[in-house]
Structure 1
Amino acid sequence: MVSERLTIVIKLGTSSIVDERTHEPILSILTLIVETVAKLHKEGHNVVLVSSGAVGVGLRRMDVEERPRHLPRIQALAAVGQCRLMSLWDGLFAHLRLPVAQILLTRNDIADRTQYINAQNTFTQLFDMGVIPVVNENDTLAVSEIKFGDNDTLSAITAAMVRADYLFLMTDVDCLYTANPRTNPDACPIEVVMDISTLEADVSSAGSSLGTGGMSTKIVAAKLGTSAGVTTIITKSSKPGNVHAIVNYLQRQGHTPTATEAVTKSVESFEAASSSQTLPPLHTRFIPSDNPIQSRSFWLLHGMKPRGTVYLDHGAYSALQKKASLLPAGVLGVEGHFAQQEVVRLVVIGKLSPDSLDGDFLHHGQEPKEVGRALVNYGSIEIERIKGHRSTQIQTLLGYADSEYVALRENIAFLQNDDCARG
């Protein structure tokens, strides 16, 4: 039993566990993953598996050679494959007397704050019961509007939901490189990324024919994970034992790298140093934010897709940064159609010129900048009517006044950087 109980999320892509050509489950890899999870569990850690593969396994089960393009067909194959996939996990973990639980999610399942908290509570109870949660997107029901997009994103949201210490993104390479190591002999491994916004790496990998992701989606997942305070790690999926070795190494070293730890090293220097038994397997580690997003803010930013946009002036934005709520007087305009209690993008517009008073402010040289998300108290039609007015006029303009604010400050979250919450 370790002195510190960690929560570890391990994300496995379809290509990691299903043969791309035959669509057969790769039992050797699955077995090694189960052994690794069991070892971590025995040491006292909580472990979550985010497992792709339902469609790939469904292809094999139904003897279909290629992934179809027709959505209902894909969803039907996912329904068939998910049964088989969970049966495989359950059977393998049963050999080690470890129970598993299936958790299928779409954005709709966590769009409501109460449901999001219920999901957190479910994970907590499963951990207390000694159960290994196996998470996947509910491909049988999901459509584009409620999909996470890929399981890399789902794993990052899951890691934030369970307040994980580590998120492992398993892939077909050891780590990130400065260039494609298959074609460039001068490519250097990137071992530690202190600031993901300054990352310079080759992310050209587009994923397999079975999967939906590539290295670029893992970078997005790393941004989400680190913004929530989760140390995110990319390592080789064919060597699941790496996870245990890396966790043990980081526990010995502490979670924060030393100031002298290099962001990149050459392949030669790493190979020379690897003769020491104290070094972990090659991997890329993304250091979490010093000021992680709190749970509610993360949910606002990433739990739901925005349904529209509310444009603000700089005065309103400054007030929001000082913890004020959003008044209608600070709203310049609305884009899209959304209802009350839906999430919208918040976009700040530069100072208006006299010729933009006709309302067409987006076409007068303005530089809009997305700054956050908000759960609004009024729909798009109502906000369009009350924009620019005082709160005391809402009753007259609408015939009712549910709130004096367009959005309460507790329902507003700011992006940490410009591309952290796109989509």
Structure 2
Amino acid sequence: MRERLELVDAARLVVKVGSSSLTASDGTLDEEALDALVDALAEKRRTGTEIVLVTSGAVAAGLGPLRLVGRSRIVADSQAAASVGMGLLIARYTAAFGRHELPVGQILLTSEDTVRRGRYRNAARTFERLLAHGAVPIVNENDALVTAELRFGDNDRLAALVAQLVRADALLLFTDVDALYDGPPSRPGTKPISVVDSIDELEGVEVSGRGSAFGTGGMVTKLQSADMATSSGIPVVLTSTSNVRAALAGEDVGTWFRPTRKRASRLQVWLEHAAQGRGRLVLDAGAVRAIVRGTASLLPAGIVGVEGDFGPGEPVELVDEEGTVVARGIVAFDSSELPDMLGRSTRELRERLGDRFEREVVHRDDLALVAPVGREQGS
């Protein structure tokens, strides 16, 4: 497939590898598998392609040294295993990439690092400097400290957010199955799906189940990750780690997820996929239509309610009168100022309150739809 050849000359790729691909059956780190992965990535790096690696395996790698059998239901045990395992994992990656004279930089993230715009920008700068200095950023969720309410949910979702953050040319998801199938791979008669134009077309495909005994994901989270990436203009390859070299060479392996939208700005991507609204603006039907059609900024005349406590420059959710979120945006006014502005034209506000009120509440350039019309947003 010609479009896969884009990977041959890609400037920047995000690669995600799952726990099942890096750990043995007893939960210890499979150093041979890790070395094989690194050798393939280093070979691609020598062609000039920048690589960002999102890796699972920290918790699994820490189970053996702590003599834990399988994932514990006690959160503190998993955090302790992650603390031990992260050191083992990054040390092994450092040695493996070091054989190819490639330095690595560890980046541990929590969702708090992406929902706050300041931290999001700081993370972007860190990635850019590491890549500029020839390093391979190695990314994992900060499992040693993260609490349930701050989790990404799985490194598949984290990988999609990182791909958007670094403006990757493609996202490659490597796992223990060679492709997405039209049913459970173990069921006789099921077939691999070579190309997916839209996640919507998979509605009838039976996809369920968790990942390996030492992982937290599964095919569901990988499809959610693919949805997030492709809706930001980033193609996705899903295949097994045994196909790493073939996938990086643009060969027809695994499943190729085509982008469903054009590239969005970092701000729009952050608003759609990562930002946490500090409040809500309730819109009338006319304002909702204008926002969804992408034709207008949000003016005071279209707002019927204000919820929450926020200041200018903070993200807010734009909802219809039923409470359904249709967009997120950067608000230009304090929540205390808006109630006196509701339903009024900008001209009327200028005459009544002054020149600075003759402007948009949320400018079109500072706004992103949460999901395309007619399709639910992937989590």
Bin of the TM-score, shorter chain as denominator length: 0.7 to 0.9
**Mapped contact 2:11–2:49 kept (Cα < 8 A):** yes
1:194 to 163, 181, 197: 197
1:212, distance to aligned residue in structure 2 (A): 1.8
Aligned 1:359-398 pairs, distance under 5 A: 362=322, 369-377=324-332, 383=338, 387-389=342-344
Give, as a single letter, the amino acid of the residue that structure 1 aligns with 2:193. I
Looking at structure 2, the residues matched to 52 and 322 of structure 1 have their Cα atoms a distance apart, in angstroms, of 38
Distance 1:76 1:376, change over 3 A: farther
Residues 1:74 and 2:40 are matched in the alignment:
no
Aligned to 1:347: 319
Residues 1:7 and 2:8 are matched in the alignment:
no
Looking at structure 1, the residues matched to 280 and 201 of structure 2 have their Cα atoms a distance apart, in angstroms, of 28
Aligned to 1:228: 232
* Stretch deviating more after TM superposition (4-13 or 212-221): 4-13
Distance 1:377 1:167, change over 3 A: same
Give, as a single letter, the amino acid of the residue that structure 1 aligns with 2:85. G
TM (norm. structure 1) is 0.77
Counting aligned pairs with the same residue, the percent is 37
SS at match of 1:156: helix
**Mapped contact 1:334–1:380 kept (Cα < 8 A):** yes
**Mapped contact 2:174–2:244 kept (Cα < 8 A):** no
1:375, distance to aligned residue in structure 2 (A): 2.7
Give, as a single letter, the amino acid of the residue that structure 2 aligns with 1:33. L
Aligned to 2:366: 411
Give, as a single letter, the amino acid of the residue that structure 2 aligns with 1:140. A
Distance 1:151 1:332, change over 3 A: same
1:396, distance to aligned residue in structure 2 (A): 9.1
> What are the ranges of 5 or more consecutive residues in structure 1 without an aligned counterpart?
251-279, 350-361, 363-367
1:44, distance to aligned residue in structure 2 (A): 1.6
Give, as a single letter, the amino acid of the residue that structure 2 aligns with 1:16. S
Q: How many residues align?
A: 368
**Mapped contact 1:13–1:53 kept (Cα < 8 A):** yes
1:15, distance to aligned residue in structure 2 (A): 2.0
Aligned to 1:354: none
Give, as a single letter, the amino acid of the residue that structure 2 aligns with 1:197. D
Aligned to 2:268: 297
* Stretch deviating more after TM superposition (157-166 or 216-225): 157-166
Distance 1:307 1:212, change over 3 A: farther
CA RMSD of aligned residues (A): 3.0
1:140, distance to aligned residue in structure 2 (A): 2.7
Distance 1:390 1:99, change over 3 A: same
2:114 to 103, 107, 110: 110
**Mapped contact 2:58–2:89 kept (Cα < 8 A):** yes
Distance 1:143 1:386, change over 3 A: farther
Residues 1:63 and 2:67 are matched in the alignment:
yes
Cα deviation code 1:106-155 (max 9, x no counterpart):
23223343443333333233223221110111223323443322111110
2:181 to 177, 181, 199: 177
**Mapped contact 1:224–1:420 kept (Cα < 8 A):** no
Aligned to 1:258: none
TM (norm. structure 2) is 0.85
Aligned 1:21-100 pairs, distance under 5 A: 21-100=25-104
**Mapped contact 1:195–1:287 kept (Cα < 8 A):** yes
1:302, distance to aligned residue in structure 2 (A): 1.4
